[in-house]
Amino acid sequence: MANVILLFHRDLRLRDHAALKNASDTGHSIIPLYIHDNTIPEENREGGASLWWLNHSLSELDRALRQRGSRLILRKGSRLTELERIVAETHAEAVFISRRYAPWEERQDQEIAQRLSVPYRRFRGYLLFEPEDVKTKSGTPFRVFTPFFKACLALGSPFPADNTVPEIAAPSTWPVSEELRDWCLLPSKPDWSGGISSSWNPGEAGALERLDAFRSVVDRYDEDRDRPDREGTSRLSPHLHFGEISPRACWLEFSSESGLGGRNAFLRELIWREFSYHLLAQFPDMAQIPLQKKFLKFPWRVDHQNLTAWQRGRTGYPIIDAGMRQLWKTGWMHNRVRMIVASFLIKHLLIGWQNGQNWFWDTLVDADPANNAASWQWVAGCGADAAPFFRIFNPMTQGAKFDPNGNYVREWVPEISQLPAKFIHEPWLAPPEILARTNIRLGDSYPWPIVDHKLARQRALDTLNRIKGE
Ligand code: FAD
């Protein structure tokens, strides 16, 4: 029987996988392949937490394939060179892939399609709608979310997801595979991944479990999604990023005729993901360059001490420290808290948003080139349809509103967990006897705030006015 290659990338699943289905429909044997491309530029490579995820997701995919009499072949090197080699070794007649949307990946795939000696066939699956299919009436791409959202809805529901796993016929001889452990994707000295391991279950089965768990809370999503002290969101982001579940499967699971608030609010978030990719297609440098050009001259401060305090969760503002520690420990942070910590870095500390974006890139298990860059620019006020720069989150009132009893802070900042709710978001206001009773020594067991909220806010507004006036 002839062979075809199924080249996986961020589509590490077997269900609702158009490339796999089409490869299977050829009736040929399928060689599932993953190429770890170590020739791409540094800035496009996965960060530490993503590599941890990738390692486990690949091993899960291999396990799922083996259950079906197949296996995953691993190769490291340039995507084109390795493909040429394996095509030659296996006499494969075609390569099937899922379309990739980061502009540098699209360029690479176009080049491969031109140079490879066999057809290089691309299929949809990572997004609900193709970026080129969603256009304004005048045919230009959208830069504002709400009309983009409406235009997506007007395109109608995506096709039903195909949740059966197609036949994956094994070749008569397997090509040589590298060993996953030799790629050293996992951290070793020190191994910081303990908290991540206990928080996540990478792979398609883990993604389906998450989807299942979310069913019981989705109808409260519109109310609970802003509450970091509740399990109110799906936590599907790393699974979606690595393509362990298709956005189409998520969409169809929760789309509802009745228009129930929680379900609709969830679908809207899936469209934010689409919007980020829509923006990345228009602004390939979105991770480096502000979309609003006046921000190019923003006089960001370089302050390693403040940056380190933010990264380590030692700013003295409990909601910020809780978020940054949740991120470090589990590789994930609640969306509301992502917005608060990002605003604090950019506006209270006046440290350039790219620094925060880079830290998230390295520490998030869902670090995503489109969502991360678009969200950081959104908070900084320099992106498309962004929150204005002058909207500066107050960490105390945000904490009191979205973590009213302080349970989220108590979980991640145990050294102040005994404080009454009244002081949990501003421990410096607690009377000395309460601090003594709860064993808190400000400046020792827990830091004083690294900047004064009012002064920092004013400094940010003054700086904004300066760039406006220039
Ligand atoms: P849910 O609330 O259950 O939402 C469902 C899905 O919708 C998510 O899994 C995600 O794919 C998508 N989604 C939700 N909110 C957004 C949003 N605001 N923008 C785009 N897509 C969204 N998300 C990432 O996937 N990767 C990132 O690198 C990333 N970086 C961010 C950086 C900052 C500064 C901020 C403010 C947000 C960032 N987000 C990022 C968006 C959002 O915080 C996460 O997608 C969300 O917290 C993931 O949790 P969840 O799966 O429980 O989301």
Tens-digit pLDDT profile for residues 231-246: 999 999 999 999 999 9
CB 42 within 8 A of CB 143: no
Q: Is residue 467 pLDDT above 90, yes or no?
A: no
From the number of C-beta atoms within 10 Å of its C-beta (0-12, 13-18, 19+), residue 186 rates as middle
Cβ–ligand 1 contact at 286 (below 6 Å) = no
Q: What six digits make up the tokens of 190?
A: 């020190």
Q: How far apart are CA 233 and CA 226, in angstroms?
A: 9
DSSP state of 347: I
Confidence of residue 1 (pLDDT cuts 50, 70, 90): confident
Q: Phi/psi zone of residue 429: left (φ > 0), alpha (ψ -120 to 50 degrees), beta?
A: alpha
Range with the lowest mean pLDDT among 25-34, 56-65, 189-198, 234-243? 189-198
Q: What six digits make up the tokens of 375?
A: 């969200």
Cβ–ligand 1 contact at 366 (below 6 Å) = yes
- pLDDT attached to residue 432: 97
Q: What six digits make up the tokens of 263?
A: 């379900």
The residue to mutate among 335, 347, 353, having the most atoms of ligand 1 within 8 angstroms of its beta carbon, is 335
- pLDDT attached to residue 145: 96
- pLDDT attached to residue 160: 79
Confidence of residue 255 (pLDDT cuts 50, 70, 90): confident
From the number of C-beta atoms within 10 Å of its C-beta (0-12, 13-18, 19+), residue 251 rates as middle
* d(CA 347, ligand 1 centre) in Å: 21
407 by DSSP, 3-state: which?
A: helix
Q: Is residue 220 pLDDT above 90, yes or no?
A: yes
Radius of gyration of the chain (CA): 24
Omega cis (within 30) before 290: no
The residue to mutate among 371, 379, 398, having the most atoms of ligand 1 within 8 angstroms of its beta carbon, is 371
Q: For 67-117, how does the pLDDT look when each residue is reduced to its tens digit (9 = 90+)?
A: 999 999 999 999 999 999 999 999 999 999 999 999 999 999 999 999 999
Is 269 part of the annotated catalytic residue set?
yes
Q: How far apart are CA 242 and CA 102, in angstroms?
A: 13
Query: Chain-wide mean pLDDT for the chain?
Result: 95
Confidence of residue 385 (pLDDT cuts 50, 70, 90): confident
Q: For 7-22, how does the pLDDT look when each residue is reduced to its tens digit (9 = 90+)?
A: 999 999 999 999 999 9
Q: Tell me the whole-structure pTM to 2 decimals.
A: 0.97
CB 262 within 8 A of CB 233: no
* Ranges of H-type helices in 68-144: 79-90, 103-115
Cβ–ligand 1 contact at 241 (below 6 Å) = yes
Is 353 part of the annotated catalytic residue set?
yes
End-to-end CA distance of the chain: 69
Q: Is residue 258 pLDDT above 80, yes or no?
A: no
Closest C-alpha residue for ligand 1 atom 49: 235
Is 332 part of the annotated catalytic residue set?
no
Q: How far apart are CA 158 and CA 130, in angstroms?
A: 11
Neighbours of 90 (CB within 10 A): 20
Short-list 58, 303, 321, 308, CA closest to 202: 58
Q: Pairing state of beta strands 29-36 and 73-76?
A: parallel
3: enclosing H helix or E strand: strand 3-8
Q: For 261-313, how does the pLDDT look when each residue is reduced to its tens digit (9 = 90+)?
A: 899 999 999 999 999 999 999 999 999 999 999 899 999 999 999 999 999 99
Q: For 343-376, how does the pLDDT look when each residue is reduced to its tens digit (9 = 90+)?
A: 999 999 999 999 999 999 999 999 999 999 999 9
470 by DSSP, 3-state: which?
A: coil
Neighbours of 308 (CB within 10 A): 10
Confidence of residue 386 (pLDDT cuts 50, 70, 90): confident
- pLDDT attached to residue 413: 98
Instruction: Please indicate whether residue 157 or residue 192 has the higher confidence score (pLDDT).
Output: 192
Atom of ligand 1 nearest to the CA of 234: 3
